[in-house]
Amino acid sequence: MARIDESRSECVFDDFKGPLTAEQAVIEANRCLYCHGAPCVTACPTAIDIPEFIRKISTGNVKGSAKTILEANIHGMSCARVCPVEVLCVGACVHNLQGVPPIQIGKLQRYATDVAYANGWRFFEAGAPTGKHVALVGAGPASLACAHELRRFGHACTIYDKRPVVGGLNTTGVAPYKMRADRSLDEVEWILGIGGIEVRTGVDVGTQPTWAELEAGHDAVFLGFGLGVDTPMGIVGEELAGIWGAVEFIERMKLGKVSVSAVRNAVVVGGGNTALDATRELVGLGARTVTLLYRGTEATMSGYAHEWQAGRVDGARALWQAQPVQFVGGDRVEAVRCLRVDDEKRPVPGTEFDVDADLVLVAIGQAKLGALVQALPGLAVERGRIVVDGNGACGRPKFFAGGDCANGGKEVVNASAEGRRAAIAIHQMLSGADHG
Amino acid sequence: MVDISANCGGIRSPNPFWLASAPPANSGGQIQRAFDHGWGGAVWKTLGQPIQNLSSRFGGVDYRGLKNIGFNNIELITDRPLESNFREIYETKQKYPKHAIIVSLMVETKQQWQEIIKRAIDAGADGLELNFGCPHGMCERGMGSAVGQEPDVNAEITSWAVEYSTVPVLVKLTPNVANIVPHGLAAKRGGAHGVSLINTIKSIIGVDIDTFVPHPMVDGRSTNGGYCGAAVRPIALHMVGALAREPGFGLPISGIGGITNWRDAVEFMLLGSSSVQVCTEVMLRGYRIVEDMIEGLTDYMEAKGFATLDDMIGRAVPNFTEWGELDLNFETVAKIDADKCIGCHLCVVACDDGAHQCIHVGRDERVPVVDEAECVGCNLCQIVCPVPGCITMAEVDNGFGKVSWNEHLRTGASLRPKKAAH
């Protein structure tokens, strides 16, 4: 796999949480109560047996620990870094109810999986060839998890992606202080190490091959193509230089170079986690002031409170209940003209004000790509999302979907869980069992 | 005002906390520092024909990240010249006249006992402790536990010591026996003024799973050592209690075995100890631990209204009895405080796998429910629960009067129906 540029912009970031040493890991592992039917497991979309993997760290069985993690979640290494553990496993730790610091589950998981990667431990082998062949569209976590599980069952897999980069948003979108792109590529390599997963990049499924050709050439199709481009604001001045879609900007930062050293006033528009990531990233890249503009309130934003807390500590500020109505400038953006909004997010006339801005990142969402497959009979698409059942099955036989294109945009851990679940359903279908 | 001064078999000390005969009591310089920290007495490391020691000598047992909950050693008695020891005993006694210096002794022949006792007393010993307990090395030479395991030999050597001594004589007993009582009675028969127990327990502390050599490793091999530290406390408490409640015994006891803090010391005293001796915790944490021991004991006595140690010594002895005397009709069930429960469900799995399958929890429920009709009141759940006071054992009024097994055999008095025995 092609390695990426070592001088790319994301490399200025250090780990925000940092790894545990072996000694620290054992001390932390020994604090775990080893709960039975543990709430942390329930809170994990992949239901990793967390008490078990932590106990194994405490006994020095790090190999067994990593196996427990990766058995449940093949993306255990990246999820340890990128999961919002504060609202998942760590947030559910029973110690919280005792007023005792919760177990640092993410850091322990990172420890075990990093040791496994460093030692080249592998736990899974491809099953005996079944002669079945599954196509997976999109090379992000959903497809990779699905393909890995399918390989354990012995089904051949081909992953198609339009772009040259594998790993999806795990490679191109994760905040670099959580994980850099090269670490995502390490994981992709580890997952593909099971063998028998062909990855074809630069392939625009729907055009060449067509959906009909893809369907005809495979025994099943998994759709894991994620989300599309950044949603534009649709206001006057959006064509000015210095205005970016946040996802596009982040990808450029992670894989190439961005320069914000000359930026005096950076503005991020939005209240979701991409907006919060972008805010922290701009601060870290060296923008002199970074302002989050959100039309809702701090309490109502969909971004995680712990992320905003960290952004505020980093030095970002926020303007709540502000709605951009126009980008002002000559060739380059100079300011964002806003209106105050009320508690129902309605603009209040006459409250216009300008926020100085020489860089603006728009983070108000990404395009839903359901339309790509809308033409296929039986496939239902609602608000741009592919409609699936609990196993990822679509209305059209042989078609399954998971990850952002089906869930509308969630965490890596959700995509991985959905991909694996779909693989089990696909296997049941291919082996003639009812997948109901 | 609480008085914590101690008197064990006529050996008096400002408090009941003595260093046990062991590495922390190896020299005058150490013991004087210990007295400066507040220790009330010290049992000088056993004097006899100085030996040659091994490298290494100690091993520890770790558990769930807690280091050294158990400890062992293969060190022997003093390796220092007797002249140095006696000179330092003299100097220490001169400097600390109110502190108790008990000299531990271990020699073979009657004449050797006579000589060493005289020298110890001449140096200023307030008491003697006969080391009949060491379970490694010395016993192979016919001393230590080789003596302590033979009541007649114990009684005989004790009688020599008592004959030659002008100060109180304590006999230090080995726990490496099936029943401690005959050995305590042997010491009494020999005329001892008191006993100290327990010495260490024969043990292999662990095995290196890479080199296949047990710990502690001496040039690729090892030997059994003496087990001590917090983990042996329950064994020591039992042996202290067994002697304390033996009607024919009645000698003062200096309690030893896994005492790490004032709470442990209180437990030993409640079961009949007049003083307590500490080694392992000092080896692991230093003499400074005595400050908390003195404060904790004093506060405890104040809170309980005990003016002197005699008010508390032995208070738990009447409550230590035979199984056959316990009330079979006494019934408890576990109660879970829903407000305190954190939902770890350790009680559920413990009851399921280790007890009587009577604690249940619904899917996605935080607080388990006890099936009181099935709960046998074993209290495993209470022990495993990480939250203080969350699980309590509530007494059930089942309408049956007190009946012990012995009474049941004697009178045929009826027993309550068994629970969870279907």
Looking at the fold, whether A97 and A148 belong to one and the same domain comes out as no
The candidate with the shortest Cα–Cα distance to B158, out of B189, B134, B198, B127, is B189
Which pair of tokens denotes residue A393? Answer: 């099955």
| For range B13-33, the mean pLDDT | 98
Closest chain A residue to B345 measured between Cα atoms? A36
R_g (Cα) of chain A, nearest Å: 22
Closest chain B residue to A42 measured between Cα atoms? B364
Looking at the fold, whether A85 and A137 belong to one and the same domain comes out as no
Distance of alpha carbon B163 from alpha carbon A332, whole angstroms: 107
Three-state DSSP state, B58: strand
Residue among B134, B139, B375, B385 flagged as catalytic? B134
Three-state DSSP state, B144: coil
- Specify if A128 maps to a domain: no
Phi, psi values for residue A88, rounded to 5°: -115, -115
Beta-ladder partners of A160: A137, A200
Q: What is the pLDDT of residue B401?
A: 96
Closest chain A residue to B348 measured between Cα atoms? A36
CA distance A111 to chain B (A): 17
| A34 touches B: beta carbon within 8 Å | yes
Q: Active site includes B351?
A: no
| B342 touches A: beta carbon within 8 Å | yes
* Cα–Cα distance list, A417 to A83, A91, A346, A377, A413 (Å): 13, 19, 38, 26, 6
Full DSSP string of A16-43? SS-PPPHHHHHHHHTT----SS-HHHHH
Looking at the fold, whether A372 and A224 belong to one and the same domain comes out as yes
Measured from the Cβ of residue B120, the count of other Cβ atoms closer than 10 Å reads: 25
Q: Which residue has the tokens 């979108």?
A: A173
Chain B partners within 8 Å of A26 (Cβ): 65
Ordered domains of chain B (ranges, CATH): 6-319 (3.20.20.70), 324-411 (3.30.70.20)
* Cα–Cα distance list, B263 to B205, B290, B294 (Å): 26, 12, 11
- Specify if A233 maps to a domain: no
Distance of alpha carbon A279 from alpha carbon A283, whole angstroms: 6
Looking at the fold, whether A108 and A186 belong to one and the same domain comes out as no
Residues within 8 A of B (CB atoms), A 50-69 only: 58
Three-state DSSP state, A99: coil
Q: Given CA atoms B334, B336, B337, B340 in this order, what sign does their dihedral have?
A: positive
Which pair of tokens denotes residue B384? Answer: 């495993």
Q: What is the pLDDT of residue A435?
A: 43
Instruction: With CB atoms and an 8 Å threshold, state whether A35 touches B65.
Output: no
Which pair of tokens denotes residue B206? Answer: 């662990």
The candidate with the shortest Cα–Cα distance to B275, out of B256, B300, B297, is B256
Q: What is the pLDDT of residue A433?
A: 58
| A30 touches B: beta carbon within 8 Å | yes
Residues B188-236 pLDDT 10s: 999 999 999 999 999 999 999 999 999 999 999 999 999 999 999 999 9
Chains A & B: contacts with CB separation below 8 Å: 39
- Residues with Cβ within 8 Å of A232's Cβ and at least 6 positions away in sequence, in order, are A238, A245, A362
- Residues with Cβ within 8 Å of B365's Cβ and at least 6 positions away in sequence, in order, are none
Closest chain A residue to B385 measured between Cα atoms? A33
With contact defined as beta carbons under 8 Å apart, do B347 and B333 qualify?
no
Q: Which of the listed residues A330, A362, A394 is the one where a domain comes to its end? A: A362
Amino acid identity for residue A72 in this structure? A
The three-point CA angle A112-A175-A306 to 5° equals: 85
Total number of domains constituting chain A: 3
Instruction: With CB atoms and an 8 Å threshold, state whether A35 touches B345.
Output: yes
Core vs surface per residue B275-285: b (16+ CB within 10 A) or e:
bbbbbbbbbee
With contact defined as beta carbons under 8 Å apart, do B283 and B22 qualify?
yes
Looking at the fold, whether A111 and A167 belong to one and the same domain comes out as no
Q: What is the CATH number of the domain that holds A93?
A: 1.10.1060.10
Three-state DSSP state, A69: helix
Q: What is the pLDDT of residue B294?
A: 98
Task: Give the HSE-up count for residue A234: Cα atoms under 13 Å, Cβ half-sphere.
Answer: 3
Amino acid identity for residue B243 in this structure? L
Amino acid identity for residue B207 in this structure? V
Q: Which residue has the tokens 């790894």?
A: A19
Please provide the average confidence, as pLDDT, over all residues in chain B.
97
Q: What is the pLDDT of residue A239?
A: 96
Out of A30, A42, A94, name the one closest to residue B344 (CB): A94
The tens place of each residue's pLDDT in chain A, 436 residues long, gives 456 788 999 999 999 999 999 999 999 999 999 999 999 999 999 999 999 999 999 999 999 999 999 999 999 999 999 999 999 999 999 999 999 999 999 999 999 999 999 999 999 999 999 999 999 999 999 999 999 999 999 999 999 999 999 999 999 999 999 999 999 999 999 999 999 999 999 999 999 999 999 999 999 999 999 999 999 999 999 999 999 999 999 999 999 999 998 999 999 999 999 999 999 999 999 999 999 999 999 999 999 999 999 999 999 999 999 999 999 999 999 999 999 999 988 999 999 999 999 999 999 999 998 888 888 999 999 999 999 999 999 999 999 999 999 999 999 999 999 999 999 999 999 998 544 4
Three-state DSSP state, A197: strand
Phi, psi values for residue B396, rounded to 5°: -110, 130
Looking at the fold, whether A350 and A376 belong to one and the same domain comes out as no
With contact defined as beta carbons under 8 Å apart, do A155 and A225 qualify?
no
Which pair of tokens denotes residue B114? Answer: 């006579």
Distance of alpha carbon A69 from alpha carbon A90, whole angstroms: 15
Looking at the fold, whether A139 and A189 belong to one and the same domain comes out as yes
Out of B342, B345, B348, name the one closest to residue A97 (CB): B342
Q: What is the CATH number of the domain that holds A401?
A: 3.50.50.60
Q: What is the pLDDT of residue B145?
A: 86
Distance of alpha carbon A154 from alpha carbon A148, whole angstroms: 10
The DSSP symbol for A312 reads H
Q: Which of the listed residues A119, A154, A176 is the one where a domain comes to its end? A: A119
Beta-ladder partners of A400: A222, A393
Looking at the fold, whether A250 and A346 belong to one and the same domain comes out as yes
| B361 touches A: beta carbon within 8 Å | yes
Looking at the fold, whether A352 and A261 belong to one and the same domain comes out as yes
Site from B209, B336, B344, B360 to mutate, A interface, most A CB atoms within 10 angstroms: B344
Q: What is the pLDDT of residue A436?
A: 42
ipTM entry: 0.91
Chain B partners within 8 Å of A31 (Cβ): 65
The three-point CA angle B93-B94-B99 to 5° equals: 40
- Specify if A50 maps to a domain: yes
Q: Which residue has the tokens 């990667």?
A: A117
Residues B92-124 pLDDT 10s: 999 999 999 999 999 999 999 999 999 999 999
| B348 touches A: beta carbon within 8 Å | yes
- Specify if A178 maps to a domain: yes
Distance of alpha carbon B28 from alpha carbon A142, whole angstroms: 72
- Specify if A192 maps to a domain: yes
R_g (Cα) of chain B, nearest Å: 24
Q: Which of the listed residues A362, A391, A407 is the one where a domain comes to its end? A: A362
Which pair of tokens denotes residue A209? Answer: 């091959």
- Specify if A126 maps to a domain: no
Distance of alpha carbon A426 from alpha carbon A134, whole angstroms: 9
* Cα–Cα distance list, A297 to A219, A273, A363, B21, B173 (Å): 49, 14, 16, 70, 75
Distance of alpha carbon B304 from alpha carbon B301, whole angstroms: 5
Distance of alpha carbon B79 from alpha carbon B49, whole angstroms: 8
Measured from the Cβ of residue A408, the count of other Cβ atoms closer than 10 Å reads: 16
| For range B141-145, the mean pLDDT | 84
Looking at the fold, whether A358 and A385 belong to one and the same domain comes out as no
Which helix (H) or strand (E) segment is A419 a member of? helix A412-430
Out of A30, A38, A39, name the one closest to residue B64 (CB): A30
Q: What is the pLDDT of residue A1?
A: 47
Three-state DSSP state, B116: helix
Q: What is the pLDDT of residue A385?
A: 94
CA distance B363 to chain A (A): 9
Size (chain B), residues: 422
Out of B342, B345, B387, name the one closest to residue A36 (CB): B345
Q: Rounded to an integer, what is the distance from CA A87 to the centroid of its chain?
A: 15
Alpha helices in A73-218 (DSSP H): 76-82, 89-92, 95-98, 105-119, 141-153, 169-172, 181-192, 211-217
Looking at the fold, whether A168 and A276 belong to one and the same domain comes out as no
Q: What is the pLDDT of residue A337?
A: 97
With bands split at pLDDT 50, 70 and 90, how would you rate the model's confidence at B68? very high
Chain A partners within 8 Å of B387 (Cβ): 98
Looking at the fold, whether A248 and A358 belong to one and the same domain comes out as yes
With bands split at pLDDT 50, 70 and 90, how would you rate the model's confidence at B242? very high
Which helix (H) or strand (E) segment is B278 a member of? strand B273-278
With bands split at pLDDT 50, 70 and 90, how would you rate the model's confidence at B74? very high
SS3 of B218-235: ECCECCCEEEECHHHHHH
Instruction: With CB atoms and an 8 Å threshold, state whether A36 touches B343.
Output: no
Residue-number span of the structural domain to which A84 is assigned: 16-119
Full DSSP string of B346-359? HHHHHHHHHS-S-E
Distance of alpha carbon B181 from alpha carbon B173, whole angstroms: 10
| A33 touches B: beta carbon within 8 Å | yes
- Residues with Cβ within 8 Å of B410's Cβ and at least 6 positions away in sequence, in order, are none
- Specify if A307 maps to a domain: yes
Residues A96-127 pLDDT 10s: 999 999 999 999 999 999 999 999 999 999 99
Closest chain B residue to A56 measured between Cα atoms? B64
Beta-ladder partners of A323: A339
Which helix (H) or strand (E) segment is A223 a member of? strand A220-223
- Specify if A40 maps to a domain: yes
